[in-house]
Structure 1
Amino acid sequence: MTSVFKLIGGALFGLAIAVPAQAQDPVKIGLVHGISGHAFEAFSKQAQTGFELGIEYATGGTNEIKGRPVELVIKDSQFKPDVARAVLAEAYGDDEVLLAVGATSSGVTQAMLPIAEEYEKILIVEPAVADSLTGPDSNRYVFKTSRNSSMDMQAQALALQPDENLVVATLAEDYAFGRDGIEAFKAALDGSGATVVTEEYVPQGTTDFTAVAERMFNALKDEEGRKVILIYIAGGGDAPGKIQAMDPGRYDIEISMGGHILPVLPTYKRFPGLEGAVYYYYEAFDNEINNWLVETHMERFDSPPDFFTAGGMSAALAVVAALEAAPEWDTETLIETMEGMSWDTPKGGMTFRAEDHQALQDMLHFKIKVEDDVEWAIPEKVRIIPAEEMNIPIGREN
């Protein structure tokens, strides 16, 4: 048995998928992720594990598509835009991958978009989130399986049940992910009567939130109605905990935020009853694919899959669905096949919107439950928010 995964320019994490020796040339798929030098490295590892599991599931364990073995070409972006551009170009050019998948940071992924257009090859965005990745500066070679900031924030707004009684201050990181998210949140509140009284943005890596918290407290404390601080930060620094420690409750201010990966969820035990929205939690979705993912992940890793694992699997399932359906594997035929394509994932069906190639998908409204015998806070399902309930703006017209 020989591994079909070739390690190029980085480290290989997760599963080793193996197949017997094949006479046919492999189909090469590039994975461009930051796998060194950043706190988001854990996200990349989850996405790659999920992608490998997705190839396994979609091919029935053969790891072949139309008789050709799958070979993953792994590239490390080091979370640097210039490196990401270079290694994606290398994957398309020297390594001759059919298509590529990546990356983890929205800012880094933005830098990769023109490379797909230059080489006229498909880039599937996973797990980066920013709306701008399928926006006016994107191009027709880019497809996006990850959710976007509008989905995050429309779901978050729906979870807050906004009306004229709701007053919000927002806190986000000062880059594409954060700013796109807050713009999407404000758009989601339009017409609800709710008010955003202040927006705060902090650099990535911020650990001291004292000054911004005081500004948000001052903006909210004299307002009437339900007062909420919405936190939309993907990295570390523990903004929710540090702001909670400053006792916003003395002004009747509550905290709201989206869900997070399992290693972070123990910190949510400080917020029992908190409601928000999240892309995925393994117990919330009951379907054949998710059941297989949970069972297999538990068997192999002694832990449940996380939401970047589900995202990576969704991207792999999209790749296999497209390659199985396309009569030819040239880029133009693949684009024609993928525009409007629907496929099944661990969180249910997704569809690539033809206009901008964003995958439309359901989201999860949760309420935090704390149980002593579970090490993390449980984002218990309130309901699944269906894709059609969210009005996701079209990023570009192809």
Structure 2
Amino acid sequence: MNRRFALRRMGAAVSALCLSLGVAAGVQAQEDPVRLGAIYIMSGTPAVYGEFARQGMEIAVDEINEGGGILGRDVEFLLEDSQIKADAAIQAARKLVYQEQVDGLMGLDSSGVATGVVPVVPELQRPFLITHAATPDVTGKLCNRYTYRLSVNISQNTKAAAEIAAETGAKRWTTLGPDYAFGHQSWEFFGDYLQELDSEVELMENTAFPRFGNEDFTPFINNVMDAEPDGVLVSLWGGDLVNFIRQANNLGFFEQDFEVLMTLGGATEVLSALGEQMPEGVWVGTRYWFDAHDNPMNDHLVRTHMERYGAPPSYNAAGAYAGIHAYKAAMEKAGTTDPEAVTDALSGLTFQAPNGELTLREGDHQAVVGPTWGVTSAVSEEYGVRMLDPMRTFDGELVTPDVADTGCNL
């Protein structure tokens, strides 16, 4: 064999090897999973919210992977603890992006945490889909290109609450809510909407804002009862709401001659914890109610959640479940998992969620979605919680403010 022929054969072999390695690398790249980073409360008393989110994501990931994944690739999620602290959530987001190389971010349970995290999101150059935190600011004055929310916000929920409150005829209203953005904004938006509906309504100065995580609500309950209002908006949530209701029962709060509206009293975790202790005949709201939506996706979620976890899905489970499906829809719309392309694809995206078909508005990236409110009735033997009867699911178009009124300037 002459030297020129030998070199030619060696070159061909090297080329073939490189081509083979290139194809193998390409196949491997195609087989790498789509990675989504999630940040929820995973420690302390409110850790149940993170567990519920995990349950929703697990169901969504399993069914998507069984159906062929996203763009032919399996999907997986990585879950980090927000610790209900903005700095911890920011650190978690940076870890997920820079170390774990996730394709997108989702989560956040606290409005206070969300207002700290959202301004940092553009630095990460990843879409961030909020599935729980309700402050209007994140799709309002703090809005940015990368941040979206698929869940009901304070403005949407309190507009529905104001409509119910106006129908009761109660004129003098006060509130009892957590002493941070969620509680104060709930009262502010509720009051504005209610006075638009009834100019004779009085918003009392005697209000109660215990710190989040407070254990003794007795002085606040007594303060509200002593004020003798016609109506009380309660925006406590989670363990705080459970503790409040137990103490309020002991003090005769629900036997007083005033209307009570609990903005998140319809959360299944609250109803499950209280059982018969949840008073009957009280108006309660929730961002998602498992028995309010007649569609195949919701039927599947409720059935699967009952089979796996022995309870109906909470709104946090439904929100996290919807978040995974929203990313699937956006990535398939974009034809890629590239974060910039997916960010663009989320804008104006219409996708199927357990609570119906949702659209993420182009102008502020808020989902056009309405809450469910209902009156607590008998405990269901099947689900183990008080059901809502009567029940009203509000039209998102009617309770979502115009983009021009949100303060968002994208």
TM range (shorter): 0.7 to 0.9
Say whether 1:40 aligns with 2:49.
no
Say whether 1:197 aligns with 2:204.
yes
Query: Structure 1 residue 262: deviation in Å?
Result: 2.5
Give the corresponding residue for 2:90: 85
Query: Structure 1 residue 244: deviation in Å?
Result: 4.0
SS at match of 1:174: coil
Give the corresponding residue for 1:137: 142
Query: Structure 1 residue 68: deviation in Å?
Result: 1.8
Distance 2:176 2:347 in 1: 35
Query: Structure 1 residue 261: deviation in Å?
Result: 3.1
Give the corresponding residue for 1:123: 128
Q: Is the 8 A contact 1:89 1:115 kept in 2?
A: no
Q: Is the 8 A contact 2:238 2:269 kept in 1?
A: no
Query: Structure 1 residue 370: deviation in Å?
Result: 1.6
Query: Structure 1 residue 231: deviation in Å?
Result: 0.8
Distance 1:263 1:123 in 2: 26
Give the corresponding residue for 1:297: 305
Give the corresponding residue for 2:385: 376
Distance 2:59 2:170 in 1: 45
Residue type matched to 2:79 in 1? I
Residue type matched to 2:33 in 1? P
Aligned counterpart for 1:206 among listed residues 206, 214, 226: 214
Say whether 1:100 aligns with 2:112.
no
Q: Among all aligned residue pairs of Structure 1 and Structure 2, give the percentage whose two residues are the same amino acid.
A: 26
Residue type matched to 2:260 in 1? I
Give the corresponding residue for 2:314: 306
The within-5 A match list for 1:44-59 is 44-57=50-63, 59=64
Q: Is the 8 A contact 1:169 1:228 kept in 2?
A: yes
Structure having the higher strand fraction is 1
Structure 2 residues not aligned, in runs of 5+: 1-27
Residue type matched to 2:87 in 1? D
Give the corresponding residue for 1:13: none
Give the corresponding residue for 1:17: none
Say whether 1:256 aligns with 2:281.
no
Q: 1:165 to 1:234 in 2, by over 3 A?
A: closer
Say whether 1:160 aligns with 2:165.
yes
SS at match of 2:177: strand
Say whether 1:228 aligns with 2:231.
yes
Query: Structure 1 residue 263: deviation in Å?
Result: 3.5
Give the corresponding residue for 1:27: 34
Structure 1 stretch displaced more, 310-319 or 163-172: 163-172
Distance 1:48 1:77 in 2: 14
Query: Structure 1 residue 22: deviation in Å?
Result: 8.6
Given the two structures, how large is their TM-score scaled by the length of structure 2? 0.83
Query: Structure 1 residue 64: deviation in Å?
Result: 1.6
Q: Is the 8 A contact 1:47 1:127 kept in 2?
A: no
Residue type matched to 2:326 in 1? A
SS at match of 1:190: helix
Q: Is the 8 A contact 1:167 1:197 kept in 2?
A: yes
Say whether 1:70 aligns with 2:78.
no
Residue type matched to 1:231 in 2? V
Q: 1:371 to 1:127 in 2, by over 3 A?
A: closer
Q: Is the 8 A contact 1:369 1:377 kept in 2?
A: yes
Q: 1:244 to 1:41 in 2, by over 3 A?
A: same
Say whether 1:396 aligns with 2:404.
no
SS at match of 1:173: coil
Measured against aligned partners, the alpha-carbon deviations of 1:278-328 in whole angstroms (never above 9, x if no partner) come to 212212211110011111112222322222111111111111110010134
Q: 1:34 to 1:252 in 2, by over 3 A?
A: closer
The within-5 A match list for 1:267-306 is 267=274, 269=276, 270-306=278-314
Query: Structure 1 residue 124: deviation in Å?
Result: 0.9
Measured against aligned partners, the alpha-carbon deviations of 1:239-291 in whole angstroms (never above 9, x if no partner) come to 23323433346752232213343342153644211123221221221111001
Give the corresponding residue for 2:12: none
Distance 1:251 1:99 in 2: 49
SS at match of 2:239: coil
Distance 1:370 1:256 in 2: 18
Q: Is the 8 A contact 2:141 2:406 kept in 1?
A: no
SS at match of 1:396: coil
Say whether 1:146 aligns with 2:144.
no
Residue type matched to 1:52 in 2? E
Structure having the higher helix fraction is 2
Distance 2:30 2:358 in 1: 34
Q: 1:63 to 1:351 in 2, by over 3 A?
A: same
Query: Structure 1 residue 149: deviation in Å?
Result: 1.0
SS at match of 2:79: strand
Q: Is the 8 A contact 2:35 2:103 kept in 1?
A: yes
SS at match of 2:376: strand
The number of equivalent residue pairs is 371
Structure 1 residues not aligned, in runs of 5+: 1-20, 222-226
Query: Structure 1 residue 203: deviation in Å?
Result: 0.5
